[in-house]
Amino acid sequence: MTTTPPLLEVENLRVVFDGVLGSVTAVNDVSLSVDRGQTIAVVGESGSGKSVTARTIMGLSTPPGRIAEGSIRLAGRELVGLTDRQWRGVRGSQIAMVFQDPMRSLNPTMKVGTQIEEAIRLHTDLSKKQARARAVELLDAVRIAAPRRRVDEYPHQLSGGMRQRVMIALALSCGPELLIADEPTTALDVTTQQQILDLMGELQADMGMAVMLITHDIGIAASYTDTVFVMYAGQVVESAPTRRLFTDPRMPYTRALLDSIPSLDSPAHEPLPAIEGSPPDLAELSAGCSFSARCPRATQTCLTQRPALIEHEAGRAWACWHPVESKEAS
Ligand SMILES: Nc1ncnc2c1ncn2[C@@H]1O[C@H](COP(=O)(O)OP(=O)(O)O)[C@@H](O)[C@H]1O
Ligand code: SF4
Ligand SMILES: [Mg+2]
């Protein structure tokens, strides 16, 4: 039996920021993979290394950040070590990204249609007229009403939700195989959040692309993704098919995250209430488990030896010496 490689395969990725006061390991031995057409979630508290991981996969890690170790393969091709020019070929055409704040990514002085046209023309040889027609099609695809009128509007003339739709249209303009959405709805109200996530789900199904949805809100991961990767202090600490992660978490941190949401059926995705204590200082990580200071199950072993992320069951991995007992009969 031959197996196709995953679309994206990140292995043992380590990203370090060198500063005058020493180095900070923002991403620490992260491994994750995304299959074609799959939607994964990367979940974790603020500062856990989600955005640095995403930016590194996009080839956007800039000094003082550097890849200290690891591999990023897209459809089997190694991306670590590509030149800037080679990265530009990957970005936008194979991998595209949507950020939390569309106002920071959109040019305020340029009509939204023109911005989409420029992105299209950068990656294709369509004429200006063809690119404009495509821009209208894309605005229509992201369910913007009256797209022919909207192409000639400026970002400030649009609502927050519409601006995020424009960002998605921009990201889709070159038909990426992987869309990375970094907290795409965090700045939006709950109803608009829902609409944008539904839209991404529909587009994902229509276009067959894979999606990496990054969120601090584990509730969002429940409804929209196939597999969840939980990050803590720069590490992936648990990964599992979404349903199993929610019904039977094994890593104590995942358990704490799940305990902190009121109900899985809750329609309102409120920000996570804080788990007691705070994440460790990444500049002073101890040799032990990074969750040990907050973990009710911690033992002496946890304080001195870091547990590796190990696949304990098919498709399920966790990094913990004393996992929570499984609720499922084995
Ligand atoms: N430009 C930077 N310079 C130094 N350290 C950084 C920089 N960007 C990120 N970091 C470090 O990486 C950590 C993870 O950041 P980030 O990936 O943005 O977290 P998240 O997206 O999960 O909230 C931060 O807590 C910080 O310590
Ligand atoms: S390794 Fe120890 S401290 Fe870390 S999560 Fe597991 S039980 Fe808790
Ligand atoms: Mg972030």
For atom 6 of ligand 2, the residue with the nearest CA is: 320
Q: Is pLDDT above 60 for 330?
A: no
pLDDT, one tens digit per residue, over 56-70 is: 999 998 888 999 999
Instruction: Please tell me the predicted confidence (pLDDT) of residue 266.
Output: 54
192: its two tokens: 């608009």
Atom of ligand 1 nearest to the CA of 19: 4
In angstroms, the CA 92 to CA 279 distance is 34
Instruction: Please tell me the predicted confidence (pLDDT) of residue 104.
Output: 81
| 52 Cα: distance to centroid of ligand 1 (angstroms) | 6
| 226 Cα: distance to centroid of ligand 1 (angstroms) | 26
Of 263, 226, 260, nearest to 245 (Cα)? 226
In angstroms, the CA 184 to CA 195 distance is 12
Task: Please tell me the total number of residues recorded for the chain in this structure.
Answer: 330
Choose which residue among 17, 284, 290 to substitute to test ligand 1 binding: the one with the highest number of ligand atoms within 8 A of its C-beta: 17
49 lines ligand 1 (CB under 6 A): yes
pLDDT, one tens digit per residue, over 220-238 is: 888 889 999 999 999 999 9
In angstroms, the CA 221 to CA 269 distance is 10
Q: Is pLDDT above 60 for 177?
A: yes
For the CA atoms of 117, 121, 127, 132, the dihedral, rounded to the nearest 10 degrees, stands at -10
In angstroms, the CA 193 to CA 196 distance is 5
Of 270, 250, 248, 260, nearest to 317 (Cα)? 250
Domain ranges (residues) in the chain: 101-175
| 255 Cα: distance to centroid of ligand 1 (angstroms) | 24
Q: What is the mean pLDDT of the chain?
A: 91
Nearest ligand atom owner, CA of 46: 1
pLDDT, one tens digit per residue, over 254-290 is: 999 998 876 555 555 555 556 788 888 888 888 999 9
326: its two tokens: 């499984």
319 lines ligand 2 (CB under 6 A): no
293 lines ligand 2 (CB under 6 A): no
Q: Cβ atoms within 10 A of the Cβ of 219, count?
A: 24
Atom of ligand 2 nearest to the CA of 292: 3
| 47 Cα: distance to centroid of ligand 1 (angstroms) | 6
256 lines ligand 2 (CB under 6 A): no
